[in-house]
């Protein structure tokens, strides 16, 4: 799938879950199983709608669906235990991550992570694949007041990178993440994982990639002087 960038980015901001790591299916299975432990049935659509949201927003969404007597803390503890147990043996990098990161380093383009997950999750995931030192700038839960789809996570990343948001390229797999990055003013590419790009989401993106290899190819193409007129 060919992606044409309107301009060469001066920085790149990555989402983490579902974009760098194949975690969304693990989260899905853990959350559906946790709901069953509590005697509830969680529709897949409810999980999909929560992708990219903060923990607080997920709490609100599940509370609205299951009602005020739903024990979210117990649910979250159960889901987290199942997820963390599986990540130790099943956490996989998404295709193209290492190659893209290596090219950004060679091109001298700074990059960051902007995620709804906590710093401990970022450290664990990056550490399991020897990538912790490759991502010196991480914006995670606790670094902003308003999570995705609000633009604050991406605006915070741009500020820490010292690059104007409109000069940043954001890479996202979720609808809420795309909304966040686009509203921050960033060039945005969606790399779908569990969610397909809708008409709305395509309208917020400069392109939809099949995988990070497509993004890598677009950056190399642009860096070699094949500029697209504005």
What's the CA gap between 85 and 134, in Å, rounded?
25
Residue-wise pLDDT for 70-95, tens only, equals 999 999 999 999 998 998 899 999 99
Instruction: Please give the CATH architecture assigned to the domain spanning 11-22+92-223.
Output: 3-Layer(aba) Sandwich (3.40)
Strands (E), 93-162: 111-114, 138-139
CA angle 40, 42, 46 (to 5 degrees): 145
Residue with tokens 């295709």: 95
pLDDT tens-digit map of 142-192: 999 999 999 999 999 999 999 999 999 999 999 999 999 999 999 999 999
Delimit the domains of the chain by residue range. Answer: 11-22+92-223, 24-90
Q: Is the pTM of this model over 0.95?
A: no
Catalytic positions are 15, 17
């Amino acid at each position: 799938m060919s992606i044409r960038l309107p301009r060469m980015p001066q920085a790149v901001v990555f989402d983490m879950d579902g974009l760098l790591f194949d975690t969304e299916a693990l989260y899905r299975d853990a959350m559906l199983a946790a709901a069953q432990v509590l005697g509830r049935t969680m529709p897949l659509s409810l999980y999909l709608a929560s992708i990219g949201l903060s923990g607080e927003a997920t709490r609100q969404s599940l509370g609205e669906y299951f009602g005020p007597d739903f024990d979210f803390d117990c649910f979250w503890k159960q889901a987290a235990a199942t997820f963390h147990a599986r990540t130790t043996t099943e956490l996989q990098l998404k295709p193209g991550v290492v190659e893209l990161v290596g090219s950004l380093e060679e091109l001298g383009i700074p990059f960051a992570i902007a995620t709804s997950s906590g710093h401990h999750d970022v450290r664990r995931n990056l550490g399991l694949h020897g990538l912790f030192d490759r991502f010196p700038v991480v914006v995670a839960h606790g670094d902003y007041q308003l999570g995705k789809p609000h633009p604050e996570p991406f605006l915070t990343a741009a500020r820490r990178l010292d690059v104007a948001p409109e000069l940043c390229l954001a890479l996202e797999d979720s609808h809420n993440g795309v909304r966040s990055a686009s509203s921050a003013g960033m060039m945005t590419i969606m790399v779908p994982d569990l969610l397909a790009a809708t008409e709305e989401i395509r309208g917020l993106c400069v392109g939809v990639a099949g995988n990070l290899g497509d993004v890598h190819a677009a950056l190399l193409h642009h860096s070699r002087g094949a500029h697209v007129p504005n």
